[in-house]
Structure 1
Amino acid sequence: MQNPAANHTWLRRAFPFLHWINELRDGKTLRADLIAGITVALVLVPQSMAYAQLAGLPAYYGLYAAFLPPMVAALFGSSRQLATGPVAVVSLLTAAALEPIAASGSSGYVAYAITLSLLVGLFQLSLGLLRLGVVVNFLSHPVIVGFTNAAAIIIATSQLDKIFGVRAEKATHHYETVWNTIVATAHDIHWPTFAMAVGAFVIMIALKRVSPRIPNVLIAVALSTFLSWFIGFERVQTVTLEQIASEAVQEVVRDEATLKREIPAIDRAVAEAEKKYRDTLARFGTDDSRTLLAQHAFDTLKLKRERRIKTVRADIEELKKNRFEYVPGANDAPGKYYLRGHLPDGAVSDGRVWRIRSVDGEQLAMNGGGNVVGSIPQGLPSLALPKFDLGVILQLLSAAITISLIGFMEAISIAKAMATKTRHRLDANQELIGQGVGNIVGSLSLSYPTSGSFSRSAVNLSAGAATGFSSVITGVIVVVTLLWLTPLLYHLPQATLAAVIMMAVVGLINVSAVKHAWQANRQDGIVAVVSFVLTLAFAPHLDKGILVGAGLALVLYLYRTMQPRVALLARHADGTLRDAEVFGLKACDNIAMVRFDGSLYFANTSYFEDKIQERVATKPDLRFIIVVGDGINQVDATGEEMLAHLTERLHAAGIEVLFTGLKKQVMDMLVRTGLYERLGAGAFFRTDEQALDYAWKKLGNDHEADCPLNVVCPVTVAK
């Protein structure tokens, strides 16, 4: 017969929300969660759109990532107040992972982002189910501090083109892109866009100073959206190719239109070549000349297709850097667009600077104002499985692991802080499960990777959230926005979203944390600085900075454990045994009492042995070596082998080795290997004083009259 109590416990583990769902019967708790959920939603809606933009996705994909992941993570996670959804660092990592393999905002890019969310979720869920949440400890605090500070700078500077309304060429390294943006700004700043961004900054900063409880982000977004609509901030005209007075521009656009018409036929040819190659491979094997010829034909066609598409897309991107002046036509005739500086004599432009926004066949969308979010599909995204492509999965795997660990560290750090304040139990592995399931379910609804948010979690807690139901309410508000409010967001300036991002990442910059790491341990300070510098240098390949920082932290840790402190003890004035070198005390000639501060394993056994041999070489009258083992947590096979040989050699030299304060796990190992039996029970003591008494009794009258292990013997310094 099954135990009902056991079933109840299992259900609560599988569905953590059962821990708090009954609390919602209390009207006070329900009301608090309703208020907190609505409050967080007021921040989440504009923030999610801004972060989607940071991730290289259309803004509305932020809303897709803001309704299911927060609900699911709250239901299956351990924290009651953690607000999950799009966050700055994960959005930046997403862009860094996807930009090398697809054009930002393209359908392929979106598909990869959704696949990445699934991979992140599966990895986090696996870690949680296997109770492996401890793996995040391999990313040390100094590494995260250095990375986070660098990421904040990268995030902020990545928004400069949107703040100034310029188009800058993307380079291999982020710092080169920033320089290109600065150069473009010096020559081509769009003042209305810059003014819109400054206005958003002023509103958010001013309202935050008045009261942190005011939804400053929402108000800034609402006011700038209204102003954008009122003044006609976006000026878009759809024009025919004949209205562009430049043969070079017309040639590039026609080439792109031709490619669009040819693509279906090219794709069919590539598919046929691939089928022929696979059929030939199946019939004749890999080494047959017919298979090699079929493979060559397939590879050649595929390469030609990729090169053709890449060349045309590059030409279109180059085209978008051009600036035009518009001359209205007379008597309702279509106007003409001339490259800036190439107006015919006597022609008068409308005073605006126009840019090519998009190209569709032989029609162009010309933009003479600022960039806005634009049309957002009304309604909820359709549920569908992400496309599975083994090649893409392998490309994204390392990025998925990095995002999983960084995202979870961000989530668990704020969750721990809130759990301490609210005195609720937090299970890191359950939180991993919650974040993982949230990302998996999110990928089914076109979401990109999400994590726990510092800022929104703080808002959730301060607004009085008592249970995870507050995040469910937040998700419901986002659903309402998607169903009925998206038309209101059309005129939201992208410059405002860039300002929202920059305001959000200011809180990530924490120079004092780097300084604190340096003060605590010089090596940790070096790790933080190296992680910071390399993350900036390698950007947009952020994973390299993290990996090098984590590798350096591990190397320095191993270096520290290879040479732990080996202290020679003597009697201090307070009656205790202290480090003779630190406190300026003499050492005993007959007895060397040595304390080893670390586990004894393969990397430091030689170091320990050398230190003992030094004592033997400098003390010709040495009769006893007492190893104080209360700092030894573990001894591996190499350590045990070294102890066996060392004690054997010392005994042969007339020196007896004693051990004090060894921990149970160390004693158990010595018993299992037989070393305890070979040395004898008389070589092991519970306390230092017991070992000293034994040694003094054996020495009898041969030991020093004023033994530094018995009386205080300061080192006298010659004048």
Structure 2
Amino acid sequence: VLPQAVAFATIAGLPPEYGLYAAMVPAIIAALFGSSWHLVSGPTTAISIVVFASVSPYAEPGTPQYIGMVLTLTFLTGLFQLIMGLAKMGALINFISHTVVIGFTAGAAILIAASQIKNFFGLPIPRGTPFYEVIHQLLLQFLQSNPYVTAVGVITLLSGLLAKRYLPKLPYMIVAMIVGSVAAFILNTLLGGEAATGIKTVGALPSGLPPLSVPDFSVDAIRQTAIPALVITLLALTEAVSISRAIATRSEQRIDGNQEFVGQGLSNLFGSFFSAYASSGSFNRSGVNYEAGARTPLASVIASVALVIILLMVAPLAAYLPTAAMAGILFLVAWGLIDFHHIKSIWQTSKPETVILWVTLIGTLINLEEGIFAGVLLSLIMYLYRSSRPEISPVVPAEEEGAYHFVYAKGKPECPQVRFMRIHGSIYFGAVDHIQRALQQVDEDNPQQKTVVIAASAINFVDVAGAEMLAQEARRRRRLGGGLYFYRLSESVQRFLGQGEYRHDIGEGAFFPAQSNVAGAVYWTLDPDVCRTCKTRIFKECKGDRLPDGHRRLRLMFATDGSIYSLGPQKLSLALAHNLDVTLDVMTMVTPEHEAEGEERINAVKQACDEGGSHCYPVIRQGTDPVKAVVEAAQAADTKLLIIGRRPPHGLTDRMLGVHAAKIITETPCHVLVVPESGRLWQNRILVAFDATPASVAAVEIATTLAKNTGVPVTVLTVAKEGKPNVPILQEALDDIVKSMSLEDIVVEGRLVYGPTAATLMAQAHELGADLIVVGIRHGGLNQALPSRVVDPIIAQSEWPVLIAKAAKVAKVSESAW
């Protein structure tokens, strides 16, 4: 404290004892009323420089007028600091990041060491020389270093390091100071004194208590010092809080910024009446205080009282303390202030934080106060940039039973109509553009995702610009046919949205509290046509019986009579239902007296369905007309694909197809899949008959859906009569169909061949190895009295399933059952 106080007072243009006075009363008051356990207040280099620069234009340094204005400057500084503390502006310290503190600490430590180079090596470097010039002068004058002064500094430095390592119970700095003083005394004694060795000491100090003083409260003095006082206020608070936080990171103490402001303000207010000039937290004295093992602010009070006692009783002994020894001690302090561990951690963890650290450190070396402000400004810019681009993560509802939270969507299926996303950050004017672009990007990625659900638990704040954007986005999505919903949005944000009518614009029903089934609620707003074809089904409601419009979810229907001719259709039905992930309606007809037989049939199929991991729904109808029963059941269930078996014909009067099968194909409005006894699910190729009629277009649409779900390649076959004028038209239509199916990622080929339709179709099926044939007929076009020249022979002769597609009432593939 002694040499530094004298040096700082000299820098400030004041008599040397004023530096000691600034280290007494202000240190006690700041320790009693501040929040830091280890912060020691007193004169500092930066404030001393600002004091001199602010007052010297108005008065001669060292004169009573000059001293009076400095005391006025100190009083106003304390007053401003106290007002800021009482106004609860201590939150300003939250904008001084940990990285800035570490960089500032390291830079200040280097400055402390640089300021002692002249004393350590005995070089004539002027006081106040910038850091870079000190290094330059050291390199130029190194060979002219005083060996005796350097020896004292080295002995002090080494003794401090050895004492710290091997004598941990002793205060190593005091040990080093004593050893250095003894070494200097021996050298001076042996070599002829200070004149011969050049080993300077602190020198005798004036003893006595700080005299009472009165600042200059004249209007001119206040006017001339008000603005500089504001500058020193900000600088002093920044230094004090930065030092407090720097040491608090090592002592694991929480700093109360408001209380620290109050403590610093009172210390300068009281100090101005006890001959002290503006003070703040001191890096080296606070570092020494912490390293010496201080645990409470009482250590600073005791140190200040000890300083008074030293001045009263043993001030002359300071004449034996060499400045080189003090330089060695301050080298140790400076080394201890550099947090190498956290610097390495920041370097490895974050490049932006590394830039902030080095900007602060280098800025501090160039200009102490500007270095702090540069670091704080850059960290705020980085923070604003990060906060303006909050992380937006796609999520999906958790799959666990009874869970209401969301998990990251990576690698998991997403709903084709709803995008779930989590926003990590506040929605304010700086982040509006980023969030709005992310919401609009959903439309570009998948135009069907017209609804967005935001997991909003991490949204702490929404300002007017953010609320306007959310309301606009909600209106836009409603126009698209969707909506914007929020899950776990905080009550405070909801109240804000309600105050400005933004909640009404977004929708009163758009907000869901914690542990509410937002996915289940949103499900009923979705497009049922998309849900019919969806295979994702990530919601519990997707696996239910109802579509979002309330209608029964469309399914496959398998009609069985329990005969051996139903075994092939049964296996195919179960495999297809499992492959398409749809529920299978199992229908049978019984006469009133044989009701138990119907239940046995259904139970047999249900058991096989359960074993295969599929779902089935029993449909038992009583009657005597199987055709009527099947047709009515299919109509009631709104079936889109009916699967039936076929019996072989029993005579010339019977149709090749079979009477019952023919009537079912004729009378049901849905597509019918006719499966022979040995039929199985297709695996090789789907053959589709196409002649550009609406019925054949329906056949292509069904084949497209089946191919997409089963991954089986498709051949679109057009059978024409050679020499007919419509052949070019058929070829062009065939090419268009093939191109369209290719866009659906289906492996497809087109063929145009000549010959009789049924025979050619069957020949091509055998040649290609097709195990599903799809042909189209106009609804009601299969005459019940006369056999169809195309469909009947194909069904009767094919050993594979034949799908009869209906053109009427089944116009779009999106209306199909899967």
Q: Is the 8 A contact 2:21 2:210 kept in 1?
A: yes
Match of 1:550 in 2: 376
Residues 43-442 of structure 1 mapped to structure 2, 5 A cutoff: 61-78=18-35, 81-82=37-38, 84-86=40-42, 91-97=44-50, 107=62, 117-118=74-75, 120-168=77-125, 173-186=130-143, 188-225=144-181, 228=184, 232=188, 369-386=198-215, 388=221, 390-391=223-224, 394-395=227-228, 397-411=230-244, 414=247, 427-442=256-271
**How much does 1:419 deviate?**
7.9
8 Å CA contact 1:113–1:449 kept in 2: the answer is: no
- In structure 2, relative to structure 1, the CA distance for the partners of 1:52 and 1:172 (3 Å cut) is closer
Alignment partner for residue 281 of structure 2, among 419, 440, 451?
451
Distance 1:482 1:441 in 2: 20
Provide the C-alpha distance between the structure 1 equivalents of 2:89 and 2:190, rounded to a whole number of angstroms. Answer: 51
Asked if the contact 1:514–1:529 (Cα under 8 Å) also holds between the matched residues in 2, the reply is no
The higher-RCO structure (CA 8 Å, 6+ apart) is 1
| Inter-partner Cα distance in structure 1 for 2:194 and 2:290 | 43
SS at match of 1:168: coil
Higher radius of gyration, 1 or 2 = 2
Structure 2 residue runs without a partner (length 5+)? 544-580, 582-744, 746-818
- Larger helix proportion of the pair: 1
Q: Secondary structure at the match of 1:594?
A: strand
8 Å contact 1:234–1:491 — kept in the other structure? no
Aligned to 1:564: 390
- Of the structure 1 ranges 545-554 and 52-61, higher mean CA displacement relative to structure 2 is found in 52-61
1:470 to 1:565, Cα distance in 2 relative to 1, 3 A:
closer
- Report what 2:428 is aligned to: 601
Cα offset, 1:553, TM superposition: 0.9
Question: How far is the alpha carbon of 1:409 from its aligned partner?
Answer: 3.1
CA distance in 1, matches of 2:298, 2:251: 16
How many matched pairs? Answer: 527
Distance 1:459 1:194, change over 3 A: closer
> Residues 410 and 496 from structure 1, CA distance in 2 versus in 1: closer, same or farther, beyond 3 angstroms?
same
The 3 A distance-change label for structure 1 pair 190 and 179 is: same
SS for the counterpart of 2:525 is helix
C-alpha offsets along residues 195-228 of structure 1, whole Å, 9 cap, x if unaligned?
2212222332232223234233334434544555
For residues 115-154 of structure 1, the C-alpha deviation after alignment (integer angstroms, 9 at most, x for no partner) is 6654553343222211221111121111111111112112
CA contact (8 A) 1:76 1:430 kept: yes
The two structures have a TM-score, normalised by structure 1, of 0.65
User: Which whole-Å CA distance do the structure 2 matches of 1:614 and 1:83 have between them?
Assistant: 52
Aligned with 1:107: secondary structure? coil
Identity over aligned residues, as a percent?
29
Query: Does structure 2 retain, via aligned residues, the 8 Å contact 1:577–1:709?
Result: no
- Note the aligned Cα RMSD (angstroms): 3.9
**1:531/1:648 CA distance change after superposition, 3 Å:** same
Assess, with a 3 A threshold, how the Cα gap between structure 1 residues 370 and 456 changes in structure 2: closer, same or farther.
closer
In the TM superposition, residue 58 of structure 1 has moved relative to its aligned partner by 7.4
Match of 1:384, SS state, is coil
Name the counterpart of 2:504: 677
DSSP 3-state at the match of 1:507: helix
Name the structure 2 match of 1:639.
466
1:503 alignment counterpart: 332
Are 1:660 and 1:688, in contact at CA under 8 Å, matched by a contact in 2?
A: no
Q: Give the letter aligned to residue 390 of structure 2.
A: P
Contact 2:159 2:179 in 1 (8 A): no
CA distance in 1, matches of 2:318, 2:286: 25
Match of 1:691 among 507, 518, 524: 518
Q: Aligned partners of 2:197, 2:148: CA distance in 1, in Å?
A: 11
Which residue of 2 is the match for residue 8 of structure 1?
Answer: none
Q: Which residue of 1 aligns with 2:674?
A: none
- Pair 1:409–1:595, CA change in 2 (3 A): same
Q: Deviations over 1:635-687 (max 9, x none)?
A: 11111111222222221221222222111111101211123234442222224
Q: Deviations over 1:215-269 (max 9, x none)?
A: 333344345445555654899xxxxxxxxxxxxxxxxxxxxxxxxxxxxxxxxxx
Give the Cα–Cα distance (whole angstroms) in 1 for the partners of residues 465 and 539 of structure 2. Answer: 31
Q: Give, as a single letter, the amino acid of the residue that structure 1 aligns with 2:31.
A: A
Any conservation in 1 of the 2:81–2:233 contact (CA below 8 Å)? no
Q: 1:75 to 1:116 in 2, by over 3 A?
A: same
* 2:535 matched residue in structure 1: 705
Report the 3-state secondary structure (helix = DSSP H, G, I; strand = E; otherwise coil) of the residue aligned with 2:517. Answer: helix
Q: List gaps (5 residues or longer) in structure 1.
A: 1-43, 236-350, 355-366
Scaled by the length of structure 2, the TM-score of the pair is: 0.57
Shift of 1:68: 1.7
CA deviations 1:483-533 (Å, max 9, x no partner) are 121111123222222222211111111122122234443322221122223
